[in-house]
Homo-oligomer: A and B are copies of this chain.
């Protein structure tokens, strides 16, 4: 590999001068500048970012620990995060984390000595959180948060759950079920709490079988749907824990020959880009501002990295209903 030393020899200068040409060309005389640049081009020299990181003690790299892309929410956020980081001259190392490989993913990030970590995959009482704070690496969570988090970006999940149920109730539904993810995930937990509060406020009867907490695999969701649809008293409406859940449920409905919304109303939460597609048109709850959570988070993170800014970041975006066509008046 051709190094700055090789360039220096070729140009008849010292290695330090080559370094200066790259990092502070205003310090070097025009004549030598040209000589060095010529040598760089002749030798096809490309500086080694790893060596640079070593001496400067920063890598210009951010680790992204995202949920899987089959969840369209993470498609939107990943896209926003990677693009904004690129604009700001940060590189993103992405991992799509499942629970099994979680701690491995963290280790990788730590070893790379990334300048910051942006992550979604954290549980409300995750023990990894301690490790993360002790690392002294700036990090921020989006969508989910840990109970002790001081840096996070989310939507108002409680309100989202509340509005979700409220919408169904206002449409005249009395049999409303919930299907959402595990309650050790802050997002699902708060949404579910909001949902239950609305149900209670409007004095709707909510049988135990209508409260379904499941993991996020396609199969588990399908099984939950199947169970729900084979109850004696089956629900006329389902509030899904997220748009991703809603999409799965809509698919399940189709395979069970049920039309949405004619036979069954379904509402999501997140208002992902895909939900606006004309062939889907999912009714959902989403951020009023329409700002992408990933974008908000990466902006803040880069600010934290650059300015050693230590004040908290606790952003909770207000939400509203996006009334589209997967729910209907009873």
Q: Show the binding face of A for B, using Cβ within 8 Å.
A: 1, 44, 46-51, 53-54, 57, 59, 61, 68-70, 75, 78-79, 82-83, 86, 91-96, 101, 105, 107-108, 110-113, 134, 247, 250-251, 253-255, 273-274, 277-280
Q: Which residues of B contact A253 (CB under 8 A)?
A: 278
For the complex, what is the distance from the CA of A272 to the CA of B216, rounded to whole Å?
21
How many copies of this chain?
2
Q: Which residues of B contact A57 (CB under 8 A)?
A: 1
18 residue pairs from A and B, CB less than 8 Å apart: A50-B50, A50-B54, A50-B112, A51-B54, A54-B54, A61-B93, A79-B96, A82-B96, A86-B95, A86-B101, A86-B105, A91-B93, A91-B112, A92-B93, A253-B278, A254-B278, A274-B274, A279-B280
For the complex, what is the distance from the CA of A94 to the CA of B253, rounded to whole Å?
36
For the complex, what is the distance from the CA of A35 to the CA of B247, rounded to whole Å?
53
For the complex, what is the distance from the CA of A1 to the CA of B55, rounded to whole Å?
12
Q: State whether A69 and B59 are in contact (beta carbons under 8 Å apart), knowing that A111-B46, A111-B49, A279-B250 are contacts in the complex.
A: no
Taking A46-B111, A82-B95 as known contacts, 16 extra A-B pairs with beta carbons closer than 8 A to each other, sorted by chain A number, are: A46-B107, A48-B54, A49-B113, A50-B50, A50-B54, A69-B69, A75-B75, A79-B96, A82-B96, A86-B95, A86-B101, A250-B278, A250-B279, A254-B278, A279-B279, A279-B280
Q: Which residues of B contact A94 (CB under 8 A)?
A: 82, 92-94
Q: Which residues of B contact A95 (CB under 8 A)?
A: 82, 86, 91-92
Task: Give me the 9 closest cross-chain CB pairs, A-B, nearest first.
Answer: A254-B278, A69-B79, A49-B111, A50-B50, A50-B53, A251-B278, A46-B110, A94-B94, A279-B280
| CB-based contact A96/B83 at 8 Å | yes
A163 to chain B, nearest CB (A): 23
| CB-based contact A108/B96 at 8 Å | no
| CB-based contact A134/B48 at 8 Å | no
Instruction: For A111, give its contact among B48, B92, B105, B110 (CB under 8 Å).
Output: B48
For the complex, what is the distance from the CA of A69 to the CA of B251, rounded to whole Å?
22
| CB-based contact B69/A78 at 8 Å | yes
Q: Which residues of B contact A278 (CB under 8 A)?
A: 250-251, 253-255
| CB-based contact B111/A47 at 8 Å | yes
Q: Which residues of B contact A79 (CB under 8 A)?
A: 68-70, 96
A31 to chain B, nearest CB (A): 26
A266 to chain B, nearest CB (A): 11
| CB-based contact A254/B279 at 8 Å | yes
Q: Which residues of B contact A107 (CB under 8 A)?
A: 46
Q: Which residues of B contact A91 (CB under 8 A)?
A: 93, 95, 108, 112
| CB-based contact A44/B279 at 8 Å | no
Q: State whether A247 and B277 are in contact (beta carbons under 8 Å apart), knowing that A82-B95, A86-B95, A92-B93 are contacts in the complex.
A: yes
For the complex, what is the distance from the CA of A86 to the CA of B91, rounded to whole Å?
17
For the complex, what is the distance from the CA of A177 to the CA of B111, rounded to whole Å?
53
For the complex, what is the distance from the CA of A152 to the CA of B212, rounded to whole Å?
46
For the complex, what is the distance from the CA of A306 to the CA of B315, rounded to whole Å?
45
For the complex, what is the distance from the CA of A86 to the CA of B279, rounded to whole Å?
34
Q: Which residues of B contact A53 (CB under 8 A)?
A: 50
A95 to chain B, nearest CB (A): 6
